Structure 1
Amino acid sequence: MPLTRRSFLATSTAAAAAATLPLPARAQSPLSVVATTGMIGDAAAVLGGGAASVHALMGPGVDPHSYRATRTDIVAVGRADLVLIHGLYLEAQMEEFFATVGARTPLLRVGEAIPAERLLAHETYADKFDPHVWMDPGLWQIPIAAIAEALAAARPDAAPAIAAAGEAYLAEAQALDSYAAEAIATIPEGRRILVTAHDAFRYFGRAYGIEVQGIQGISTESEAGLARIAELVELIVSRRVTAVFVESSVSDRNIRALIEGAAARGHEVAIGGELYSDAMGAAGSYEGSWLGMIDHNVTTIARALGGTAPAEGRLGRLA
């Protein structure tokens, strides 16, 4: 269930538990916040407003599963007042780094604010979960609340403004959730099959009733074998799938192998569009925001699979 506005700043006890180290006194200067992904950085910037200076380590097209901290990142994190990471093993190559950081700097694993019973199990590791929770706007409202709570705790003087920004951001997330449900529901039932480069859309599929098939597993580090390619070619041909999707942060090589394999079987399938999975669009663009990336994905998927959605998206802002 999506959060209600009344519960917005009271949902995440995980936020308070995660950021237990004292923050330095900062008077009215902006809080220095470092986020790992663009989705987290976007939320922090919107919620923090002028009270926070936010720097995201991973830009457009960057794969967080394989990302390693650079020297510049290490310096930025070392100077931060608050570090926001996704957790849920998304930043797999930086787990040890952030374990060290968390011993000396307030650090919040925003994805882990979501109760375990609402998470999807990892397909490979029994003790881990699928980290791609931002793909479900209803579910992502919980990390939004956790981020707002951590920012307000760090800057009590700005807490009312952060709360107001949180209410507005939550309202947009709820409107986006409604738009996604309505748009995906217009896809003919037999065509609700989303084939993508890697398995980043399971929460999206669960939220909106669409079957998701990824070539690679939850992590882009997993290998897509010939057997998996052959399996998906068979699915595409037998179920007459007409569109498959590339992702901005994953090579399109395997998707093109699917297209060629289907063609060899006498079935034509097209690329339905490029989706944003582990990273947002270009900085400064509407698609370079979390609201914009999800709007883009929903609109692209619905239109490519035979549904009805405005070409310019929910707010008429898509390029």
Structure 2
Amino acid sequence: MLFSALLILGLVTTQAVVAPTAPTEAAIKVVAGNDVVADLVRAIAGQDVELFVLGQGADPHHYEPTPADAKKIESGDLVIEFGLGLDRAMGKLHRSTGSKAKLLVVAEGLAKGSDAAVTDHDHADHADHDHNHDHGSSAVDPHIWHDPSQVRILNERICAALVAVRPTSAEIFRSRSVELDTQLVKLDEWIKAQVLLIPESKRLLVTTHDGLQSFGNRYGFRVVGIEMTSDGADVAPSQLIKMVNALRETKSAVVFGDAAHHSRIAATVAREANVRLIETLRLDSLLQPPAAEQGKAYLETMRLNVNTIVKALQD
């Protein structure tokens, strides 16, 4: 009798230990328009996302989508177009494929360099709108992520869109988004402190690709973008002369280039103008592993850029 009772107890105990758990939800399929969007998605969604970055490593200004891109958008749960004319191909693909994925144009309405404040407004409706209008404008520098106060809004909007797709993960997504917001505030304050190390008279940023207007407006720099990122095949001598003269007129001792777009033209122009060329900034893209951890690449890239700028303008 005792033996039978022990067997029954053991059976019950074993059954309690191996009781089935609720099935794990499938990862959210997200298609992102650039590295910045992708990194924010990783910071908020963690391992709950299957992420595809459109044109990973390519120049977003000139990238032409492929059939593989169209398939990813068609089968995705959430498509995040950056907006401001930077990656309009995404919206076109979303419409042409008839994708049922939610479309979020995450930077919509954010003007260059504005000191935008994060509001308590729920931006989830941004993920549900059909954005058929043109986001491009020659007056807008789309590289607004160089201003962390703008990225706080991107964080808020991406979090709301992820919650709309996966309500069961709302608590963890919002918790991570709040933590990211705290880090962005700290980053902003750190940059302000670093900029104070540069004399006001030297707060001039001359770049080979006009991508730092929002940074300049936020932190008190005059920014001059002289486009020198062509590969040189179609640049006439008269254009080179104009670039050299434009660079000399800035009276800057340094011109900053993009690490992702090493340019022979920029090297030639800088040499002719007797100006030091520094091509280590990340203007269009972020650091990639192992240089930076996924989900923290934006923060690390901004620190790298600021340290590079401060060191160069202090010398």
TM-score normalised by L of structure 1 = 0.75
Question: 1:275 and 1:95, CA in 2 relative to 1: closer, same or farther beyond 3 A?
Answer: same
Counterpart of 2:43 in structure 1 is 46
Larger Cα Rg: Structure 1 or Structure 2?
A: 2
Counterpart of 2:304 in structure 1 is 296
8 Å Cα contact 2:38/2:53 also seen in 1:
yes
The Cα of 1:295 is off from its aligned counterpart by 1.0
Counterpart of 2:184 in structure 1 is 173
Q: Deviations over 1:134-156 (max 9, x none)?
A: 11011111111100000011111
Q: Secondary structure at the match of 1:281?
A: coil
Q: Secondary structure at the match of 1:216?
A: coil
* Pairing 1:233–2:247 present: yes
* Pairing 1:153–2:173 present: no
Q: Quick one: higher RCO (CA 8 Å, sep 6+), 1 or 2?
A: 1
Q: Deviations over 1:222-245 (max 9, x none)?
A: 989346413423224xx3x22221
Partner of residue 272 from structure 1, selected from 255, 278, 282:
278
* Pairing 1:136–2:147 present: yes
Counterpart of 1:17 in structure 2 is none
Q: Deviations over 1:114-166 (max 9, x none)?
A: 3799499xxx946x632111110111111111000000111111000000000
TM-score normalised by L of structure 2 = 0.76
Question: 1:93 and 1:76, CA in 2 relative to 1: closer, same or farther beyond 3 A?
Answer: closer
The Cα of 1:277 is off from its aligned counterpart by 0.8
What value does the CA root-mean-square deviation take over the aligned residues? 3.1
Counterpart of 1:314 in structure 2 is none
Counterpart of 1:59 in structure 2 is 56
Instruction: Read off the aligned partner of 2:278 and give its amino acid letter.
Output: G
Q: Secondary structure at the match of 1:283?
A: coil
- Identity across aligned pairs (percent)? 28
Counterpart of 1:82 in structure 2 is 78
Deviates more, 1:84-93 or 1:294-303: 84-93
8 Å Cα contact 1:280/1:287 also seen in 2:
no
Distance across 1 between alignment mates of 2:180 and 2:33: 20
Q: Secondary structure at the match of 1:212?
A: strand
Counterpart of 1:283 in structure 2 is 289
Distance across 2 between alignment mates of 1:232 and 1:208: 24
Question: 1:92 and 1:108, CA in 2 relative to 1: closer, same or farther beyond 3 A?
Answer: closer
Distance across 2 between alignment mates of 1:223 and 1:291: 36
Instruction: Read off the aligned partner of 1:28 and give its amino acid letter.
Output: E
Distance across 2 between alignment mates of 1:144 and 1:91: 18
Question: 1:291 and 1:109, CA in 2 relative to 1: closer, same or farther beyond 3 A?
Answer: same
Counterpart of 1:260 in structure 2 is 271
Unaligned runs of 5+ in 1: 1-25, 264-268, 308-319
Question: 1:233 and 1:218, CA in 2 relative to 1: closer, same or farther beyond 3 A?
Answer: closer
Distance across 2 between alignment mates of 1:186 and 1:138: 21
The Cα of 1:107 is off from its aligned counterpart by 0.8
Distance across 1 between alignment mates of 2:189 and 2:201: 22
Structure 2 counterparts to residues 116-131 of structure 1, below 5 A: 118=114, 125=137, 129-131=140-142
The alignment covers a number of residue pairs equal to 268
Deviates more, 1:32-41 or 1:51-60: 51-60
The Cα of 1:199 is off from its aligned counterpart by 0.6
Q: Secondary structure at the match of 1:114?
A: coil
Instruction: Read off the aligned partner of 1:157 and give its amino acid letter.
Output: T
Q: Deviations over 1:211-267 (max 9, x none)?
A: 1111129999x989346413423224xx3x22221202334233213322223xxxx
Counterpart of 1:71 in structure 2 is 67
Q: Secondary structure at the match of 2:226?
A: strand
8 Å Cα contact 1:272/1:301 also seen in 2:
no
Counterpart of 2:130 in structure 1 is none
Counterpart of 2:12 in structure 1 is none
Counterpart of 1:28 in structure 2 is 25
